[in-house]
Amino acid sequence: MSVTIKDVDKIAQLAKLKFKENEKVKLQSELNKILEYIDQLNELNLDNIEPLENINETENVLRKDEIEIWLTNEEALRNAPSKTGKFFKVPKVLDK
Amino acid sequence: MIGLEIHAQMKTNTKAFCRCSTDFHSSPNSNVCPVCLGYPGCLPVLNEKLIEFTIKMGIATNCTIRSNSIFARKNYFYPDLTKGYQITQFDTPLCYEGHINIKLKNKETKKIGITRIHIEEDAGKSIHDFHDDETLIDFNRCGVPLIEIVSEPDMNSTDEAHQYLSKIKQTLIYLEINDGNMEEGSLRCDANISLRLKGTETLGTRTEIKNLNSFKNVSDAIEAEIKRQTSVLESGEKVSYHTMTYNAKDKTTAATRTKEEAHDYRYFPEPDLVKLKISEDWLRKVADNLPEFPDKRRDRFMKDYFLPESDSEEITHDRKFADYFENVAVNLSDKNERSFRTASNIVRAEVRKVMNEKKIGINEFPLPAKAIAMIADSVNSGKVSITASKEIFTLMLSGKSEEEMLSIFRESEKNLSIVSDTSEIESIVKKIIDTNPEETQRYKSGEKKLAGFFVGKVMQESKGKANPKIVNELLIKLLEV
């Protein structure tokens, strides 16, 4: 299994990133190296071994359904690059 | 074939993974915190109530509750999704393989399979029409807990889809885990539709209509999409997979312009949340606290209160309304078929009428259940006529306090009570005969159907208080001399 430039393009598109052609070639080889490593792992016999879904072995970390006020509207908007009134503002998006 | 995916907002106080309020009416971007705003380094913590609510729905829809489940990240970019991913459940939905029964038009029952019910979080709200090239975003809804109820493609008509949605909505409201408000978006529906040619086994390619926010839109959109797919097939072409949107104005469906290849959500286990384990003990605790489900309650009302199925269905459709009726029933002095039926008639007709007129729920209905029981008792014991009972009901509504209502009841019951005093009725009957000589003559010469005319006049004169049986007897006696 090896990564093609087309794969790099697709992943970049999904991540909303843009690369120059030479960067894509570099990424292609890096991604292939990662996959080689995965292939190595695939050599291990993992029959009857449950996948480790979380490094943390605990379970049921839950909280009560009680409201706590964290931020005011002003605080929430303080770091926003663009805002109007009480709203965050972004370039027009359509087509969800 | 039709399958529905229903998103129901859970009526918790706080969001799924943080302590922000879920209040729909709060001012924009006031119910937000670093977790739901997607700040780096924040950790989500699961809302216990959300799990309890989801289990309730699972049990109510005959699902198996998974003892070990995990959460997953669904990755996509959209400005209303702060983190760049939605926390959801992927291959381990909390509830799976259930079903509900729906009533068809021909009165038969049909079982509709439920594939899964899983937990996920909602996204923020975008406001597109504010400006030509800018979009405003309110993150109050971001992180609000939802459950997604996915049905099997078991429905074959818009009517079945409607019945199914209605049953799911009723169940959610009975469990008090969702407010059923489709307008405010706390209940939303996506419909999957695929056609199968008559006489063949294979299903055509399905399409999915997104975001249907009313019963009417669900029915109309499914109808429109069936039409569209039929005409595609009839012209010899194939239906291709699309996400569709429904336009309620011209009642048509159209494919969205979204590129299908962009739908690659790259699900993976959510590393910020630990495993969710539902113990037998927990499950039992939730199950022990469930209300009686609507179908069961309907059957019990038929048995306990001798009500016909349609009346029982009508009363038990809404949990609070059914509670009210049971309160009336408890307060009746005679507990027999006749008195339960009288109570049921008053509740279904008079109480419902006032609720509709004033657009209020049963909780805001002013008369206590005890008052309805008193009126029903009064009818059953023969003290007042049904006509008079309606008047008493209306008069009592003007009472400002329970005490005042009771005194109105006592007074109007006395004023309107049925007159069985023969001499008093006889004088009214005589008066009516005397003042209508023409009709009297016609009756005497054989026009017997005029009896109804006389009964009506007497009842009118007595303001509905005369005992109809005595009126009849006296009329015959006096007219046929």
Rounded to 5 degrees, φ, ψ at B30 are -110, -25
Helix axes B280-288, B48-60, angle to 10 degrees: 70
**Residue B422 has what pLDDT?**
75
Q: Is residue B22 domain-shared with residue B121, that is, in the same domain?
A: yes
Enumerate residue ranges in chain B where pLDDT < 70: 257-263, 420, 481
Last residue of a domain, which of B415, B437, B462?
A: B415
Question: In this structure, are B13 and B26 located in the same domain?
Answer: yes
Q: Which of B45, B75, B133 sits opposite A91 (nearest CB)?
A: B133
* Measured distance CA(B459)–CA(B476) in Å, rounded: 15
Q: What is the CATH number of the domain that holds B448?
A: 1.10.10.410
A64 or B103: whose pLDDT is higher? Answer: A64
Domain count, chain B: 4
Write down the pLDDT at residue A96: 44
The answer to whether residues B169 and B313 belong to one domain is no
* Whether residue B214 is found in the same domain as residue B92: no
Final residue in a domain of this structure, among B383, B415, B447: B415
What confidence score (pLDDT) does residue B272 get?
A: 93
Q: Give a yes or no: residue B298 inside a domain.
A: yes
- Would the CB atoms of A66 and B19 count as touching at under 8 Å? yes
Q: What is the CA radius of gyration of chain A?
A: 22
For chain A, helix (H) and strand (E) counts, in that order, are 3, 3
Contacts 24+ apart (CB under 8 A), B432-439: B432/B457, B432/B458, B432/B461, B433/B478, B433/B479
Choose the final residue of a domain: B415, B445, B468. B415
B146 within domain boundaries: yes
B150 and B7 co-located in one domain: yes
Give the span between the Cα atoms of B472 and B69, in whole angstroms: 74
Measure in Å the smallest separation between the Cα of B28 and chain A Cα atoms. 6
At B260 the pLDDT is 52
Query: Is residue B354 situated within a structural domain?
Result: yes
Q: What's the pLDDT score for residue B400?
A: 87
Looking at the domain assignment, is residue B39 inside a domain? yes
- Does A73 sit within 8 Å of B27, measured CB to CB? yes
Tell if the CB–CB gap between A59 and B276 is shorter than 8 Å: yes
B355-389 residue pLDDT tens: 999 999 999 999 999 999 999 998 888 888 888 88
Q: Are residues B253 and B268 in the same domain?
A: no
Let me know if residue B254 belongs to a domain. yes
Asked whether the predicted pLDDT for residue A35 surpasses 70, the reply is: yes
Give the gap in angstroms from C-alpha B215 to the nearest C-alpha of chain A: 23
Pairing of strands A83-84, A87-91: antiparallel
| Range 31-90 of A in CB contact (< 8 A) with B | 53-56, 58-73, 76-77, 84-90
Q: Are residues B66 and B146 in the same domain?
A: yes
Residues of the domain holding B25: 2-178+264-285
Cα separation, B397 vs B366, whole angstroms: 7
Q: Which long-range contacts (CB under 8 A, 24 or more apart) does A68-73 make?
A: A68/B14, A68/B19, A68/B20, A69/B20, A69/B21, A70/B18, A70/B19, A70/B20, A70/B32, A70/B33, A70/B34, A71/B32, A71/B33, A71/B34, A71/B37, A72/B30, A73/B27, A73/B28, A73/B29, A73/B30
Q: What is the pLDDT, as a whole number, of residue B428?
A: 84
Assigned domain for B87 exists: yes
> Are B401 and B445 members of one domain?
no
Chain B residues touching A64 at Cβ < 8 A: 48-49
Residue B185 falls inside a structural domain: no
Cα–Cα dist A34/A3, whole Å: 10
Instruction: Please give the Cα distance from B16 to A42 (Å, whole number).
Output: 36
pLDDT at B286: 95
The reply to whether B277 and B320 lie within a common domain is no
Residue A11 is predicted with a pLDDT of 87
The answer to whether residue B209 is domain-embedded is yes
Are both B51 and B141 inside the same structural domain?
yes
pTM metric for this prediction: 0.81
What is d(CA B128, CA B387) in angstroms, rounded to the nearest whole number?
56
Indicate if B46 and B109 belong to the same structural domain.
yes
Chain centroid to CA A21: how far? 23
User: Do B137 and B238 belong together in one domain?
Assistant: no
pLDDT attached to residue B61: 95
For residue B375, the 8-state DSSP code is H
pLDDT at residue A94, rounded to an integer: 62
pLDDT at res. B368: 92
Q: Which of B32, B77, B269 is the closest to A76 by Cβ? A: B32
